[in-house]
Amino acid sequence: MTVVDCLDICTGSVIAVAGCGGKTSLIELAADRLRDRKVLVSTTAKIFPMKTEGVLLCENLGQCEEHKPQTGIQCLGLLNTASGKLEPLPDQVLEGLIPRYDVTFLEADGSRGLPCKGWLSNEPVIPRYCTHTVGVLTMNALGKAASETVVHRLLQFLSLTGLQQGEPITVQALEAMACAPGGMFKNSAGQRYLLVNQVEDDAAALAARSFLLIVKEKHPNRFKKLMFGSVRLDSWQEV
């Protein structure tokens, strides 16, 4: 399956993406696959502006409110010139803009490029009107020490998973990161989708499938779909 197929994306979809291990790449891939529609890419956290060719970028409130959507990808937010990142539009403004577009993608948290994270009480920031909440993770942190070089918001991650600093990250820790009440889906809206990304060989596929079968058994009916695959290859399998 392609990412559009596996996420059941259709006209009117508003998709919040949280987690770590490829959120931005997943959004950019899905948006590109849908560029024959009016696609909005924005954030409730902070993102770097999309660099993909043909993306229309609006960087301040006036531009965003006045923009007339057109076929293709539009990336909207408030530019922080110091960081170079787009920051969230006011919620009322974002909610008012979304009906103008066919499909909307919202990056709902940040992980500083690390493979694991914990969440503050207000994270991830997922608006109530989202039709999908997509959680992304990888198996790449398995066996690595729980430390600030591997985990964003280490204290919150340790509290969430029960690990001690320096202990190896386990399958159980990744399960807690994805499924615990304080994990990546705690503020979810709409249908929940869990994706294991960066699966590009047989060993990675075995690890991802085994992990998702544990999730499926321990958390029945929690997720619309459990999938593993690769953003780079845009190839996905459902468990």
Please give the full DSSP string across 139-157, using - where no structure is assigned.
STTTTSB-STTTEESHHHH
| Average pLDDT of span 163-172 | 97
Domain span including residue 181: 3-39+105-238
Residue 54 · residue 138 · CB < 8 Å: no
Q: Which two tokens stand for residue 191?
A: 């249908």
- The answer to whether residue 91 is domain-embedded is no
CATH number at residue 217: 3.40.50
What was the pLDDT predicted at 28? 95
- The answer to whether residue 75 is domain-embedded is no
d(CA 108, CA 159): 21
Tokens 């950019």 -> residue: 28
Q: Is 36 left (phi over 0), alpha (psi -120 to 50) or beta?
A: alpha
The residues, ordered by sequence, that sit 6+ positions from 63 with a Cβ below 8 Å of its Cβ are: 76
Residue 142 · residue 174 · CB < 8 Å: yes
d(CA 27, CA 109): 13
- Comparison of pLDDT for 51 and 153, the residue scoring more: 153
Tell me the average pLDDT of the chain: 95
Count of domains forming the chain: 1
- The answer to whether residue 100 is domain-embedded is no
Q: Is 0.75 topped by the overall pTM?
A: yes
User: Using one digit for the tens of pLDDT, what is the confidence trace for 174-223?
Assistant: 999 999 999 999 999 999 999 999 999 999 999 999 999 999 999 999 99
| Average pLDDT of span 79-85 | 94
